[in-house]
Chain A
């Protein structure tokens, strides 16, 4: 009869790599943890985005994806909160977030709420829905270089982003709401939409003008919302003409609808929506 598989050593594994396509960080186990995490985050988001099919997407899959997303976000938030350099730890336990296995009926411990996050604009429709964008703490010059690295790395690996060096250091968490998916789902090209570009990388807080060209409405219009009950969710998305994912300067991009002031400095954007953002952030981190 057969014995069990031999435990694989790292060097043996590298030697035995055949022609088969290895995964992004399966093949380079030496990849720094933040980059691994960024990669997983990107894949997570693109999978959630591409859920818009003609058939109702699997709630099971969506929940697993959003849990993974939330876990990664929590790690990133807590790391930013600690204002410590991103330590590269390969075991995945570097963050302060206490992610417990789900026990009984108790939800896992949540990352600490970070009340002083600079807000991001959220379109008014999104207030009732559960889309949000969070800017992490900007006051960490020591992490800028790592963010740069991450951005550069991810640019290579992820699907071609529309905004190659997206301005904000952002994390996005979203749950789909249900009602408007039908119109989006039917005429949507798969996956290669603005959401890929939006989450193509973590960005430095204060640079470039890309953020001003973003249209939040467009970004989220791909999100499939049909997996949840349609009863009490409002549509968070407005419908715009489809746009290509190439340049940020296209005419169809809309300005932020609720921003009273736009500037090239991302940190000033959307301060008017601080309260809404906090509220939604609270929901996110406490759930």
Chain B
């Protein structure tokens, strides 16, 4: 039994990998911190424990449309650390918030006019001046909202991305992308607008967007028709004209009623190097060279055995699931989720791939994950699972990879799994 409010909706490591943030359907953010190395318990290095929990978004009501606005956190993005505090952006469908997470381990004691309990002292008893002194206290982690970026999106926000200039960020909804200054909440610049003059002609929406990791003028956005547009903000204020247009020609032999739906890109991520980008559609992950627009340089089948089951998946709405994808720190391995709590990793160099499962039944803490295999026909071997036994309600949509080490975070419905390379 799982409360729907606990369903994890986003996972993100910070730039050092020391912190891991998760957002859930109930609007909460939970931040985990990696245990520091300690001589007493060397094997505990690398464990992530809860560091802070706070309610980021609350459900709202749009009175104009008489509809609820979900508090579900769609995305979290960390800002690079510039002082002792940590900052992250979290967003639901409509509003982006900048949160400051800071530690407090001292508190002032000895106020002149107040008791230590906080009660006002009787003025007649005050005969001397007492200056508060900072005393140590138990560590307390506080999260405070520092900025609220609201009222800029008519449609549902699907992506936020911090620019490499660390001054601006963008938020993308189904039809528009806005550029914000982190300091300014009452103004944003619209940089992409694909809303047609006549909404009847709408056939394509924006599905994901991301800034280039090092070129602060460059960003990409993906669409529901399987295309990616790379835009340069120096060229135009309104980036309706793309600099590059990435699309793979459709394979006519694979055409079906659902071709367009499965071509819809659910996630786009630049490689750390900035030379490549990766896109995830329903059945595949593709790696693109930014210099080659007409086709990807690599295509990986995530779960091609689903291709013949598309009608069922359409019926139960699974075909609309939006899977994310991630690079490892060196851009040599890519990872994405699947159904039945499976997730897949593809090594780009060796061309080997593995299917792993995130579930409590199959793995104890510190046990080594066993590769899984889906059997697609004929006789099923022991340990294999047949396509029809897959549990489509157990989907891994959100995963994250530590920026430099082989530590991954996998969100399976309401559970978070953290896996790492075995330490010898």
Contacts and interface: CB of A to CB of B under 8 A. Distances in A.
Contacts of A102: 203-204, 225-227, 247
Given A16-B386, A60-B224, A287-B203, A5 B374 contact: yes
A226 interface: yes
Interface stretch (B64-72, B115-123, B129-137): B64-72
Contact of A8 (B201, B224, B377, B389): B377
B388 A18 contact: yes
B298 interface: no
Interface string B316-338: 01001000000000000000000
Contacts of A15: 377-378
B305 A5 contact: yes
Contacts of B245: 104
| Interface residues of A, dominant DSSP | loop
Contacts of A230: 64-65
Nearest to B255: A92
B203 A63 contact: yes
Contacts of B67: 54-56, 181-182, 185, 226
Contacts of A18: 386, 388-389
A185 B312 contact: no
Nearest to B227: A102
B27 to A, nearest CB: 13
B377 A9 contact: yes
Interface stretch (A36-44, A205-213, A252-260): A36-44
A59 B155 contact: yes
Contacts of A19: 388
Contacts of A25: 311
B315 A23 contact: yes
B275 interface: no
B261 interface: yes
A41 B281 CA distance: 23
Interface in A142-161: none
A71 B155 contact: no
A283 interface: yes
A244 interface: no
Interface string B253-271: 1011110110110000000
Interface in A168-195: 175, 178, 181-183, 185-186
Contacts of B205: 59-60, 63
Contacts of B257: 36-37, 40, 68, 71-72, 92
Interface in B283-311: 301, 304-305, 308-311
A59 B175 contact: yes
B199 A229 contact: yes
Contact of A101 (B201, B250, B376): B250
Contacts of A241: none
B388 A16 contact: yes
Interface string B348-380: 000011110000000000000001011111101
Among A16, A91, A226, A230, chain B packs the most CB atoms within 10 A around the CB of A16
Contacts of B255: 91-93
Contacts of A9: 377
Contacts of A67: 203, 260
A13 B376 CA distance: 8
Interface string A96-123: 0000011110010000000000000000
B238 to A, nearest CB: 15
A239 B252 CA distance: 45
B312 A26 contact: yes
A6 interface: yes
A18 B389 CA distance: 7
B247 A101 contact: yes
B308 A64 contact: no
Among B205, B250, B314, B374, chain A packs the most CB atoms within 10 A around the CB of B314
Among A22, A66, A107, chain B packs the most CB atoms within 10 A around the CB of A22
A20 B156 contact: no
A243 interface: no
B174 interface: yes
B378 A43 contact: no
Contacts of A181: 65-67
Nearest to A225: B65
Interface of A: 1-2, 4-9, 12-13, 15-26, 29, 36-37, 39-40, 43, 47, 54-56, 58-61, 63-64, 66-68, 71-72, 91-93, 101-104, 107, 130, 175, 178, 181-183, 185-186, 226, 228-230, 233, 283-284, 287
Given A60-B156, A60-B207, A230-B65, 19 more contacts: A5-B374, A6-B378, A17-B388, A18-B386, A22-B312, A22-B388, A40-B314, A56-B65, A59-B156, A60-B205, A63-B203, A64-B260, A68-B261, A71-B257, A102-B225, A175-B199, A182-B66, A183-B66, A283-B200
In order of increasing CB-CB distance, the 5 nearest A-B pairs are A23-B312, A182-B66, A20-B388, A12-B377, A18-B388
27 contacts: A2-B354, A2-B371, A5-B301, A5-B304, A19-B388, A23-B311, A36-B311, A37-B257, A39-B311, A43-B314, A54-B68, A55-B69, A56-B93, A56-B156, A59-B205, A60-B264, A60-B320, A68-B257, A91-B253, A102-B226, A104-B245, A107-B201, A175-B200, A178-B65, A183-B66, A228-B199, A229-B195
Interface of B: 62, 64-70, 93, 154-156, 158, 174-175, 195, 198-205, 207, 224-227, 245, 247, 249-250, 252-253, 255-258, 260-261, 263-264, 301, 304-305, 308-315, 317, 320, 352-355, 371, 373-378, 380, 386-390
